[in-house]
């Protein structure tokens, strides 16, 4: 690890001293995702905040994380959990103040934790001053050029300009009322209507976001997660999609009119220059939902971004063949461009992996989970424990989603009246959305709010009473708990020379078992079958996700071995 809070002079001095630079910290970092509104509530209003996070930094340090990534914390009407930003240079009052954010960054650095924030460049809130100005300025104005305003189709412009759909359901276009009171143009929103898409062909948009990057880098931020990184560039002809297999809308030609277009890479190459002008190692991580590791690798080529989330890994079902393929393809594609792999099992948009793996049958379609059999908590927990050891042994960095270290599951039975995800409304109440993975964390005690906020406070989503046995406090006393497994794994990962960035070698194994070695002297074995298999040859068992059966590795269990 290089120094936190290094000065420009210090960084140059280090480079001179070392002759060559040590590998940057982010190539093997474990980044803990803090979904701020659900992490810890300092002021008792039911919503997590910066004060709550500051008080819990020692927990994250002791867990063994290298960095934290915070979901958007900017002023926002909170239509989409803060991914509708109305001011990119301030903090939402519900989370704290800019001074509190500065204090958090400083305190995290003192605890040895780097800080990544979330940038939302694809769209703003409809309350953002730019969008308000665009509404007021009317058709043909430079203010409207920053977004995608178009005349509608049909005789009186009464139909949307094309057939694109919002990711949350419904058309991707909303018609505005012009300043003179008449129905007027339509604007594009690939998410909720309150999230108008920015036009990245516009020079002012580009300049503004480079300035926002500098604003946060100047405050000491170590990295940035880029929301909807695959979506910024759009075909200005805005062509209709056509009906594809199963009725899904697909592009008529080879290029998609708004997903994963080559133009996005040019934007990120200029962002990279902004980051590289700062001392120390600042990192970008792309939220790019694209088709497979080869496409992911395009975002992290030389001169482009540093890292990208590995969603092919997250969406892989619990299967040895599936994991072997996605791990192999990810390492090959990313190492070919000199980038480290990253691994992730859960985040704030996806069903928690205890609930995904805890099913005999299930499938994923992008981020959408389709259970096909009932949930078995024991099965899900056993597999999640094995998955943690698998992920943390793989070469590269890893992202942990808050609560996975506690073994939390998706809360699938939240009452309808508390659901807040816009997907619930926009799907016509057919998709319950993502609130089930965003339920506030249980820290201590035996009844809600489980230490999430002061006694008597009411978390913004109700916590299941069963979480009394899953609090951080309860697990800290239990050597067999998920929390203690994560702590032990992260401790070992820090000290073992084979772990973190690097490469792996697959070793021969039965079909339902994955075994790989990392040099020097480390081996990870994961048994995906239901029955035990012999452990590979080893000198010592370093860590196991569950009790071993003599010299055998039980089903759905992983072990770290010294070889």
Interface with ligand NOJ (CB under 6 A): 80-81, 83, 120, 191, 227-228, 287, 348-349
The CA distances from residue 520 to 25, 26, 304, 324, 541, in Å, are 20, 21, 31, 21, 15
| Pair 472, 49: CB distance under 8 Å | no
Cβ partners under 8 Å of residue 286, min gap 6: 226, 229, 230, 268, 296, 299, 300, 305, 307, 308, 309
Say which of 41, 126, 185, 227 is annotated catalytic.
227
Residue 207 per-residue DSSP state: H
Q: How far is the CB of 486 from ligand NOJ (least distance, A)?
A: 23
| Strands, E assignment, 1-150 | 30-34, 67-70, 114-119, 149-150
Neighbour-count burial of 208, counting CB atoms closer than 10 A to its CB (0-12 exposed, 13-18 middle, 19+ buried): middle
Q: How far apart are CA 309 and CA 396, in angstroms?
A: 11
Q: How far is the CB of 402 from ligand NOJ (least distance, A)?
A: 14
- Bridge partners of 558? 526
DSSP 31-58: EEEE-GGGT--SSSSSS--HHHHHHTHH
Q: How far is the CB of 348 from ligand NOJ (least distance, A)?
A: 6
CB environment 403-439: b (16+ within 10 A), e (fewer): bbbbbbbbbeebeeeebbbbbbbbeeeeebbbbbbbb
CA atoms within 13 A on the CB side of 53: 31
Q: How far is the CB of 232 from ligand NOJ (least distance, A)?
A: 12
Helix (H, G, I), strand (E, B) or coil at 552: strand
Could you give phi then psi for residue 16, rounded to 5 degrees? -65, -45
Residue 404 per-residue DSSP state: G
Q: In what order do the strands lie in the sheet with 67-70?
A: 307-308, 283-286, 223-226, 114-119, 67-70, 30-34, 397-401, 342-344
Say which of 197, 281, 287, 421 is annotated catalytic.
287
DSSP 500-528: SSS--EE----TTEEEEEETTTEEEEEE-
- Closer CB to ligand NOJ, 30 or 228, in the complex: 228
- Closer CB to ligand NOJ, 26 or 191, in the complex: 191
Residue nearest ligand NOJ, Cβ-based: 83
Q: How far is the CB of 443 from ligand NOJ (least distance, A)?
A: 24
Residue whose token pair is 């002297």 = 521
Q: How far is the CB of 230 from ligand NOJ (least distance, A)?
A: 10
Is 287 assigned a catalytic role? yes
Give me the torsion for CA of 89, 94, 95, 96, rounded to 10°.
70
Is 107 assigned a catalytic role? no
Any long-range contacts for 253-262 (C-beta under 8 Å, 24+ apart)? 257/164, 258/164, 258/190, 258/231, 258/233, 258/234, 259/230, 259/231, 259/289, 259/290, 260/230, 260/288, 260/290, 260/291, 260/295, 261/233, 261/234, 261/235, 262/233
| Pair 527, 533: CB distance under 8 Å | yes
Q: How far apart are CA 17 and CA 214, in angstroms?
A: 28
Neighbour-count burial of 94, counting CB atoms closer than 10 A to its CB (0-12 exposed, 13-18 middle, 19+ buried): buried
Neighbour-count burial of 525, counting CB atoms closer than 10 A to its CB (0-12 exposed, 13-18 middle, 19+ buried): buried
| Catalytically active residues, by annotation | 227, 287
């Amino acid at each position: 690890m290089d120094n936190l809070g290094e000065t420009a002079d210090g960084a140059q001095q280090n480079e001179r001293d070392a002759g060559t630079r040590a590998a940057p910290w982010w190539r093997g970092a474990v980044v803990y995702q803090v979904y701020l509104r659900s992490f810890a509530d300092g002021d008792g209003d039911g919503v997590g905040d910066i004060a709550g996070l500051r008080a819990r930094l020692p927990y994250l340090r002791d867990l063994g994380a290298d960095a934290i990534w915070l979901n958007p914390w900017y002023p926002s009407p909170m239509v989409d959990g803060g991914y509708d930003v109305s001011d990119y240079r301030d903090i939402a009052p519900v989370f704290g103040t800019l001074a509190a954010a500065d204090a958090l960054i400083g305190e995290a650095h003192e605890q040895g934790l780097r800080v990544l924030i979330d940038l939302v460049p694809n769209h703003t809130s409809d309350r953002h001053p730019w969008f308000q100005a665009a509404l007021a300025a009317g058709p043909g104005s430079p203010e409207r050029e920053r977004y995608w305003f178009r005349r509608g189709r049909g005789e009186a412009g009464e139909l949307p300009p094309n057939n694109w759909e919002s990711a949350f359901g419904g058309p991707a276009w909303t018609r505005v009322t012009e300043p003179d009171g008449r129905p007027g143009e339509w604007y594009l929103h690939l998410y909720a209507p309150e999230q108008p898409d920015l036009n990245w062909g516009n020079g002012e948009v580009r300049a503004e976001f480079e300035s926002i990057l500098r604003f946060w880098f100047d405050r000491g931020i170590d990295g940035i997660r880029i929301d909807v990184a695959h979506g910024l560039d759009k075909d200005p002809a805005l062509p209709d999609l056509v009906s594809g297999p199963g009725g899904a809308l697909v592009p008529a030609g080879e290029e998609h009119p708004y997903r994963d277009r080559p133009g996005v890479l040019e934007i990120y190459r200029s962002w990279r220059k902004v980051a590289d002008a700062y001392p120390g190692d600042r990192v970008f991580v792309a939220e790019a939902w694209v088709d497979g590791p080869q496409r992911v690798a395009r975002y992290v080529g030389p001169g482009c971004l540093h890292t990208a989330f590995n969603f092919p890994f997250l969406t892989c079902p619990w299967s040895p063949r599936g994991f072997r393929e996605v791990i192999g393809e990810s390492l090959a594609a990313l190492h070919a461009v000199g980038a480290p792999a990253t691994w992730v099992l859960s985040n704030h948009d996806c069903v928690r992996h205890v609930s995904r793996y805890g099913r005999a049958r299930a499938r994923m379609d992008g981020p959408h989970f389709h259970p096909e059999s009932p949930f078995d908590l024991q099965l899900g927990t056993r597999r999640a424990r094995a998955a943690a050891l698998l992920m943390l042994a793989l070469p590269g960095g890893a992202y942990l989603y808050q609560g996975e270290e506690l073994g939390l599951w998706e809360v699938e039975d939240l009452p309808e009246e508390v659901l807040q995800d816009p997907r619930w409304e926009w799907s016509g109440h057919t998709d319950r959305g993502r609130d089930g993975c965003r339920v506030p964390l249980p820290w201590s005690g035996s009844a809600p709010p489980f230490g999430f906020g002061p006694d008597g406070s009411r978390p913004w989503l109700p916590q299941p009473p069963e979480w009394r046995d899953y609090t951080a406090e309860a697990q800290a006393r239990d050597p067999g708990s998920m929390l203690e497994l994560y702590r032990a794994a992260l401790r070992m990962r820090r000290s073992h020379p084979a772990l973190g960035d690097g490469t792996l070698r697959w070793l021969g194994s039965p079909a339902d078992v994955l075994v790989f070695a990392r040099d020097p002297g480390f081996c990870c074995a994961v048994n995906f079958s239901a029955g035990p298999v012999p452990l590979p040859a080893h000198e010592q068992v370093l860590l196991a996700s569950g009790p071993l059966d003599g010299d055998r590795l039980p089903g759905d269990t992983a072990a770290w071995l010294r070889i």
